[in-house]
Each structure stands twice: as structure tokens, then as C-alpha cells.
Chain A
Amino acid sequence: MSDELVSKTLMPGSSSPVVAGRSELAKSTEVTREFLAFELGSENYALPLASVREILKPPPVTGVPRAPRDVLGIISVRGRITTVIDLRRRLNLEERPLSKASRILLVDREDEIIGVLVDRVHQVYRLEPEEVEYSNVMGSDASDHFMGIGRPRSASRSARGAHALDDHSILILLDPIPLLRR
């Protein structure tokens, strides 16, 4: 079901240069309006839809000794060995065991597809420019991977599914390249 969610909306700009750095993003806002929202702890995050290749129910993950701490391990995605990172660990959030709602997003990091473990996937938001506040206007202490804040206004746009956000929620928009940098 979640796979459908992506494939239906992925088409526009799926090969667009969203995966560029933040400076590039200002120029390419046209194609970065679509975001996949997901939940991590009590916060709602979102990645540019074009960078998300697939959403998986977590298969058994094989731990890799000696790997960096935020690497959960490896899985096989149709025969391809894929590294999975625990986004909670990467963002220094409190760890939590997998739940039924946990999902792995396969995110394109230019040279590699990385699995990203999240608590729950919400939906795709199409954000108008006035609904996005880019982090370069938020001050300089934001981390590299914080692209900005999204404030979806209309409830009608988030009507899909039971886990839609309420009207007053904000989305923390993440930039996949710095986020998943080695």
C-alpha cells in the first residue's frame, strides 16, 4: 500500500536535481515542492519525494560489526545489499524498538541508495512556496541537513489516510545529501 503511495506521485521531477545541496535547492524549488512526510518520535519530518525510491516494511536487518553507530545493518533489496541507517540514531533521538508501523525508506544519496528507518510514514505533501520557510532564513545554527520548515495549511490536502497531520503541525524538511553523508 505504501509502495503505491510513492509510485503514483513520484513521476513529476523524479529525476530532477533535488538531490543537490541546499544552495541548489533555492533554484529548484519548483521540483522540491513534493515531500514525503514521516514520523520520528513526536516530530514530523519530510524528505523530498523525488529522493525516495521506495518504502519497505522492514525485513530482518543483519547487523554489521565495526560499522558506524547509526548504521542499523544491511538488508537485501531484490538481491542488492543495501545499508540501512537508523534515523533516530543519526538525529540523536532516543532509540526505540521497531513497531508495526516502522518503515524503511530507500533514499537516493547520489552514489548509493540508503535505507532509512523511520517510525511511521504519513503522506505526500505538495507545499506551496509560501508554506515553506527555508533554513537560510531561520538562522545559522541549523544543521546542514535541515532544509527548512514546512507548514501545510490546508487540511484538505492532508485528507489521505488516518495518520494525516492536524492543521497546526509543522514538517521538518530534511536534505537527503547532507543527512546521509558518510
Chain B
Amino acid sequence: MRAFVRAVLEEWGDAEVVEAASGFEALRVLPREAFDVAIVDVNMPDINGLELVSFMRKSAAHAKTPVLMISTEAAHTDRERGLALGANGYLSKPFTAEALREKVGEILPGRREG
């Protein structure tokens, strides 16, 4: 899954992709770097994606980082909550490379041309 996202994004446009295997890994990475976009799966092994979004929105460094949430199709509540917490876009699994590119394009400021 992560590999798929990485491949899509790298192939799409010269992106540097930092992977985090879990929510905590993300927490470890987030304070150190700035990102153009964060792609967050709701269901992670430790903290969930919603919590990560909530955390990011509360931290100064990532309050404005665009976030794309990924979850399963049926989880409407997860989707609504994610958006309410400040996620910028939402994508339900499974998705195509095209759909991913489209969503990321939507939420990435200044990259609309892709």
C-alpha cells in the first residue's frame, strides 16, 4: 500500500516521499520536517489517522499541512470525522493511481497543473 502510494507519487512528479510505518513513526518524523502533503490512513496499528490529523492540526508546524485521509469505503463516520478534524481530502480504498493523483492535486497548493 505504502509502496503503491510512493511509486505513484514519485513517478508523478519528482516528489520526495517519507514513509512512516505507523502513527508513532509519523509522530517521530513530523516535528523534524516540513511536508507539502501528508497522506494518512485512518487505520494504523497504533494511533489512528484521525488522531494524527488532530495532532497535526494542533501543532504549530503542521497546522496548515494539507492532509489526505485514506480509509475503507464503508466508513462514513471516519470520513466525516476526518474532514471535521481538518483533513483536506478523502480517498476510499481501493483507489486507482489516477484517483490518488487527482486528490493530491486537489489539495496541493500551487500544483494544480498536474
Is there a direct interface between A and B, measured as CB atoms under 8 Å apart in the complex? Answer: no
Residues of chain A having any CB pair with chain B under 8 Å: none
Residues of chain B having any CB pair with chain A under 8 Å: none
